[in-house]
Amino acid sequence: MELTRLFDFIYYQNEKQPQAECMAHRPEGEWIYYSTQEVIDLGNQVSTGLLKLGVKPGDKIAVATYKNRPEWAIVDLGIQQIGAINVPVYPTISAADYEYIFNDAEVKYCFVGSGDLYEKTEIAQKKVPSLKQIFTFDKQPGKPYWKDMFGDADHEKVAKLREKIKPDELATIIYTSGTTGNPKGVMLSHTNIVHVVLETIEILQVDKSGEKVLSFLPLCHIFERAVLYGYIYKGVSIHFVGVDNLGGEDGDLKSVKPVFFTTVPRLLEKVYEAIYNKGLALSGVKKKLFFWALSLTDDYEYDQKQDGLKWKIADKLIFSKWREGVGGNVRGIVSGAAACPRKIAQVFSAAGIPVREGYGLTETSPVLTVGRFVENGSLLGTVGYSIDKVDLMIDDSDGTYAKDEGEILAKGPNIMMGYYNKPEETAKVMKDIDGETWFCTGDIGKLIDGPGGKQFLKITDRKKQLLKTSGGKYVAPAPIENKLKENFLIEQIMVVGEKRKFVSALIVPSVDALKDWCSKNNVSWTTLEDAVKNPEVLRAYQKIIDGYNPDFSHIEQIKKFALLSAQWLPVTEDGSKPELTPTMKLKRRVILEKYETEIEGIYNV
């Protein structure tokens, strides 16, 4: 059968290689399995139930869960195959964010998982006229249960509706963080996502149907969602788990023993930190062996032969234990959503746990480039080469860039339909060059000649002001900065966190306000240089941050800060680069360079 719509994948699996354990999760200790046919039957019940509720093609249905679970995929199927639109939303955003998204998309119904999601969406519902009802995936007193809306599966009626859906129709709207605080809804068609799935299927390191994989990155993000459809095509057993129970003797890695999974760099960093700390805790010969083996990875390159005696010894004594720690069967890991440190990919790959990196955006469905697990298919320090029918261009016409660098532009069948309700915003990210329309990624990079005569993409910077943590979460710094500047003790502030574990801030105090505070609180004042080191002053600023943090989502909250004694200016007297533009905007790169020591101090404590 031809695969052109997202829901085609589960029917393809049922036709070619139906699975008794297509999807699994364990909410309370024991694994619960769903066969391919059960997924289809439940999806049809969802479809029939939605039709009875009056859902029509084009209507928007939201889904939010803290952990991936089969119900997410089942509802996704039920929504899509009747022509409705799945609007997945992050579980960690505020009720106000839900209110904005639900109103913008005119969401009709919402499905939620456990935790505080029902309460948050219910708060939003009071100000969302279109939202008729919220269903929960877990039975809770007084709350509508998702199976209560099921109808007797009308397979024939659903099939007729399914046949009418065209590949170029809208399949989903995914809301991404915006620099103004309001997210933008990325419209993706079936064609957009299906192209990525079909062009990346062979990258999934699965040899035969029925093999086990893990899924723990949020399905509301297009990265893991596209991978999900690929898993379904491959006919593997998808084990939905949470990130909080991956490691350890009883963790999901050792329990499931997956052959493949996708991740964000931060998780690999945590695993590496744990391995490294175990090495530090060793003593004598064992410690020497550990760090000797680790040193072998320093010069490792992809495709390097490791058949020498020293590699065999290191593998038997050290690296084999690392592989056991991730279940013992992992053939490959693809890292995405944030930049993966070269050292992390190098160390794991050298130890027989191959790691490759991919690159893309929600607007590109998401994959533009990815490293492959075949010979000449990857290059350390890059994000791989482009997938088929996707063209890249390095545009240096709009800015001052280093040699061979520029903004990364892309075109191909995976580029979004546009931003929902925002044609002007859509126009801003599209560029006409010689009669062809290119999508502007907002990222800076260059193309490098690599193995096999391919051009590999290296990301060198971000043009956008959005920062991205090492966990792959976008954070818009401006709204946070503007909020904190409301406090009289804060003169200037810049949020930091690009490729970091958490969000922090550099703060320049208001001198007059701080002097006044010191006087009222019997704190000695000499100079601002002394004041920013005073423990009582530091406690006062910590209290300010603690007061504002609840206004932001967990990932946006400022975990640490540094007080600075020099004001940022648009003009400097010593000839150094000014920290502000003539219109008083932050020159973020300049500030990051000038205060590199202070920033490292924040993250190294």
Q: Output 277-282 pairs: Cβ under 8 A, ≥24 positions apart.
A: none
DSSP string computed for 197-237:
HHHHGGGS---STT-EEEE-S-TTSHHHHHHHHHHHHHT-E
Domain for residue 99, yes or no?
yes
Kindly tell me if the per-residue pLDDT of 90 is higher than 70: yes
Q: In the beta sheet, which residues pair with residue 435?
A: none
Sequence-ordered strand ranges (E) for 434-487: 436-449, 455-462, 467-468, 474-475
pLDDT value, residue 581: 66
For residue 445, being part of any structural domain is answered with yes
Q: What's the mean pLDDT in 148-158?
A: 88
Q: Which residues pair with 438 in a beta bridge?
A: 431
Mean pLDDT to the nearest integer, 154-163: 92
Minimal CA–CA distance to 528: which of 540, 513, 543? Answer: 513
Lowest average pLDDT, out of 28-32, 77-81, 238-242, 321-325, goes to: 28-32
Cis upstream peptide for 366 (omega within 30°): yes
DSSP state letter for 319: I
Identity of the amino acid at 498: E
In a domain, 590, yes or no: yes
- For residue 400, pLDDT over 70 is answered with no
pLDDT at 224 over 70: yes
Residues 6+ apart with CB under 8 A from 128: 99, 102, 103, 107
Q: Mean pLDDT throughout 544-566?
A: 94
Rounded Cα distance between 269 and 291, Å, is 18
- Give the pLDDT score at 440: 96
Residue 331, amino acid: R
Over residues 294-319, the mean pLDDT reads 93
- Structural contact between residues 146 and 135, judged by C-beta atoms closer than 8 angstroms: yes
Helix (H, G, I), strand (E, B) or coil at 261: strand
Measured CA to CA, the distance from residue 369 to residue 392 in angstroms comes to 9
Are 510 and 591 part of one and the same domain?
A: yes
Nearest residue to 42 via CA among 5, 15, 69, 3: 69
Q: In this predicted structure, which of 97-111, 262-276, 505-519 has the lowest mean pLDDT?
A: 262-276
Q: Domain of 484: which CATH number?
A: 3.30.300.30
Same domain, 573 and 424: no
Tally of CB atoms within 10 A around 399: 11
Quick one: 328 and 352 in the same domain? Answer: yes
Q: What is the per-residue pLDDT for 509?
A: 95
Coil, strand or helix at 409: strand
Dihedral angle sign, alpha carbons of residues 205, 210, 213, 218 = positive
Tell whether 419 and 529 lie within a shared domain.
Answer: no
Alpha carbon 530 to its chain's center? 41
Once rounded to an integer, what is the mean pLDDT over residues 433-451? 94
CATH number, domain with residue 304: 2.30.38.10
Contact 45, 28 (CB under 8 A): no
The two tokens of residue 242 are 């949470």
Burial pattern 558-567, b for ≥16 Cβ within 10 A else e, equals beebbbbeee
Q: Say yes or no: 522 and 557 in one domain.
A: yes
C-alpha distances in Å from residue 567, one per residue of 80, 96, 131, 221, 564: 54, 34, 48, 39, 8
- Among candidate residues 405, 431, 465, the one where a domain is terminated: 465
pLDDT digits (tens, 9 = 90+) for 238-269: 999 998 889 888 889 999 999 999 998 878 88
Angle in degrees, CA 355, 361, 365, rounded to 5: 95
What gap in Å lies between CA 40 and CA 74, rounded to an integer? Answer: 8
The whole-number pLDDT of residue 524 equals 93
Give the domain extent around 129. 8-14+21-165+214-243
CA separation, residue 166 to residues 80, 156, 190, 194 (Å)? 11, 18, 8, 12
How confident is the model over 369-391, as pLDDT tens digits?
Answer: 999 999 999 999 999 999 999 99
Same domain, 158 and 275: no
Instruction: State residue 428's pLDDT score.
Output: 95
Which of 175-179, 192-196, 411-415, 581-585 comes out lowest in average pLDDT? 581-585
For 137-141, 269-273, 419-423, which range has the lowest pLDDT when averaged over its residues? 269-273
Cα separation of 25 and 239, whole Å? 6
Pick from 332-346, 348-362, 439-453: least confident:
332-346
> What domain count does the chain have?
3
At 50, the pLDDT band (50, 70, 90 cuts) reads: very high
The answer to whether residue 254 sits within a structural domain is no
Q: Report yes or no on 420 lying in a domain.
A: yes
Q: Please report the pLDDT score of residue 29 as a whole number.
A: 80
Top pLDDT among 5 and 588 is at: 5
Query: 277 falls in which pLDDT band (50, 70, 90)?
Result: confident
Pairing of strands 60-64, 85-88: parallel
Boundary residue ending a domain (411, 434, 465):
465
- Classify 325 as helix, strand or coil: helix
Is 180's pLDDT higher than 50?
no
Q: Side chain identity at 398, as an amino acid letter?
A: D
Q: Tell whether 174 is covered by a domain.
A: no
Q: Which two tokens stand for residue 231?
A: 């898993």
CATH number at residue 86: 3.40.50.12780
Same domain, 345 and 453: yes
Query: pLDDT tens across 513-535, in order?
Result: 899 899 999 999 999 999 999 99
Mean pLDDT of the region 160-169: 97
Of 162-166, 387-391, 402-406, 459-463, the poorest mean pLDDT is in 459-463
Average the pLDDT over each of 18-22, 220-224, 250-254 and give the range with the smallest value. 250-254
DSSP secondary structure code for residue 146 in this structure: G
Residues 119-137 have pLDDT tens digits of 999 999 999 999 999 999 9
**Could you give the count of Cα atoms lying within 13 Å of 410 in the half-sphere of its Cβ?**
31
Per-residue pLDDT, averaged over 23-40, amounts to 94
Residue 391: strand pairing partners: 411
Same domain, 64 and 157: yes
Residue 110 lies in a domain: yes
Closest-CA residue to 137 (of 64, 34, 52, 32): 64
Shared-domain flag, residues 495 and 549: yes
Torsion region of 441: left, alpha or beta (phi above 0 gives left; psi -120 to 50 gives alpha): alpha
> What is this structure's pTM?
0.82
Whether residues 443 and 481 share a domain: the answer is: no
User: Do both 509 and 360 map to the same domain?
Assistant: no
Among 465, 491, 515, the domain boundary falls at 465
Q: Tokens standing for 424?
A: 């002007």
200 located within any domain: no
pLDDT over 70 (residue 582): no
Share the mean pLDDT of the chain.
92
Based on the domain organization, do 456 and 481 belong to the same domain? no
